Chain A
Amino acid sequence: MAPILRVERLSKSFGATTVLDDVSLSVEKGEILIVIGPSGSGKTTLLRCIHCLEHPDRGRIVLDGVPFGHAGGEGAAWQPDPPRELDAKRRRVGFVFQRFNLFANLTALDNVSIGPRRVLGLPAAEARARAAALLGRLGLTEHAAKLPSQLSGGQQQRVAIARALSMEPLLMLFDEPTSALDPELVDEVLQTMRQLARSGMTMIVVTHELDFAREVGDRVLFMDGGRLVEEGRPEEVFSRPREERTRAFLRRLLRTGAPHHPIDHEAPPTTDTIADRRA
């Protein structure tokens, strides 16, 4: 079966800094790919390139047989799609941001229905029904009429997931979806993501939640310095990492602790998450 997403030899630099260096990967339908790696390793940029929030310098991205951008021959510079085409292609990929980014002027329900209504052009009643059903599925019905400022971080992130799902995407991208949350709110978001994974959604998740990665992930990808260093099944990568850099990273992460480990509730955010937020 052809993979649903194929990324070939993706490279990107910001000025003199190379953030993505010849990264290739592919994701099968229904697969959950976990991406881990230290700060500045290019994880976030990788996701943003797949969603064309950034444009890579060169490489190829093919989603369900349709290429993003117009890369010429092998190694040619990236040509972005014309705006209209890009908007249309983007709809097929859902993106969940670290900082939720719910529309501050809209209620939870309107956050979820505005895409179907304004982008897909559904009649208002149908768009609202779809949004209400999604909020119900994620256990958010009672919050439908609230503004984002009236919701907790965990609730906001779940509404943001519902908003991405409202476009019925082929693929969902999660950019450290729990790292901006208070520790006690992390679980409800991970629970929602588990539920989504079980429903057969194809997902790429950048995360530091190793337990979640081990439990839900089909494959783990370790990135460092913009390169793909190691790839394998979660139990292999976490228990018997082949590369020294992977080992060092995992040691460091276990010492600082994944944020939701009870012991580490008081731990300050790692430099990793702070740097990524800035990026």
Chain B
Amino acid sequence: MFDFRLIADSVPFLLKGAVYTVQVSVLAIVFGLVLGWALGLIAVAGPGWLRAIAWAYVQFIRGTPLLVQIFLIYFGLPALGINVPAFWSGVIALGLNSGGFQAEIVRAGIESIDRGQAEAARSIGMSSLQALLLILVPQTIRRVIPPLTNELITLTKSSSLLSAIAVLELTHAGQAIIARTFAPFEIYAAVAVMYLVLIAVLSRGSALLERRVFVNY
């Protein structure tokens, strides 16, 4: 039957895993945001050759499984003579992946701003870069919070794939307990609840950001 004692005993270890999950996710989110905005801005305003590179990158990220991308980084970097611990391989892989998806969100967000805004900026003599950074990007930020939140939720949940390269995050912590206790149902249920709490916090934070931090225009 469902063994609550077992869950209670496992909580401290699972929480350690959850901390790893948060750490890897936050770092990958920051990395992904920087990469995503850079690629997104390149996609709307970069020179042709750079746009082509950004486009190819996004196609690769979208067209290959995340697990394969994780393996490419984890096994590929050492093959190139670069030794990266599993944790950082995970951060890099998730960040690179999320950056590709975020680039598309940012690009679409900027392109959704009324053309008149850019024209008005140019009409008072702003350069196209000034128009982009002073007028279009600030309006884009608020508009892309909801789709970016979805992306960040996906990223956080995808960090469970890092169990495949032995990062001791939440899912892997659960697997380790199961190997000792043979109680997969209880432990995975506990793991699932913990993910649910993490995602709830993330959603709430994003909603606050949307309503409080960025004024309603």
Contacts and interface: CB of A to CB of B under 8 A. Distances in A.
Interface in A72-112: 83-84, 87-88, 90-91, 94-95, 97, 99, 101-105
A168 to B, nearest CB: 11
7 contacts: A53-B123, A83-B127, A99-B116, A101-B114, A105-B139, A114-B124, A163-B120
A119 B120 contact: no
B124 A91 contact: yes
- Chain A contact patch, size range: 20 to 34
B215 interface: yes
B125 A115 contact: yes
Given A90-B123, A118-B126, 5 more contacts: A84-B127, A90-B124, A148-B217, A163-B120, A163-B124
A118 B126 CA distance: 8
Interface in B108-123: 114, 116-117, 119-123
A6 B139 CA distance: 38
Given A97-B119, A101-B116, A119-B130, A87 B139 contact: no
B78 interface: no
A102 B135 CA distance: 10
Contact of B215 (A87, A99, A147): A147
Interface in B72-131: 114, 116-117, 119-128, 130
A164 B128 CA distance: 18
Nearest to A149: B217
Given A105-B217, A147-B217, A83 B125 contact: no
A24 to B, nearest CB: 24
B126 A119 contact: yes
Interface string A138-154: 00000000011100000
A101 B117 contact: yes
Interface residues of B, number: 20
Interface in A252-273: none
A39 interface: no
Contacts of A102: 120
B138 interface: yes
A103 B120 contact: yes
Contacts of B121: 103
A88 B127 CA distance: 9
A166 interface: yes
A115 B3 CA distance: 68
Contacts of A101: 114, 116-117, 119-120
Contacts of B135: 103, 105
B131 to A, nearest CB: 10
Given A53-B122, A105-B135, A148-B217, A87 B117 contact: no
B192 interface: no
Contact of B217 (A104, A163, A167): A104
Given A118-B134, A149-B217, A164 B124 contact: yes
A51 B124 CA distance: 10
A104 B215 CA distance: 11
A230 B128 CA distance: 38
A118 B127 CA distance: 10
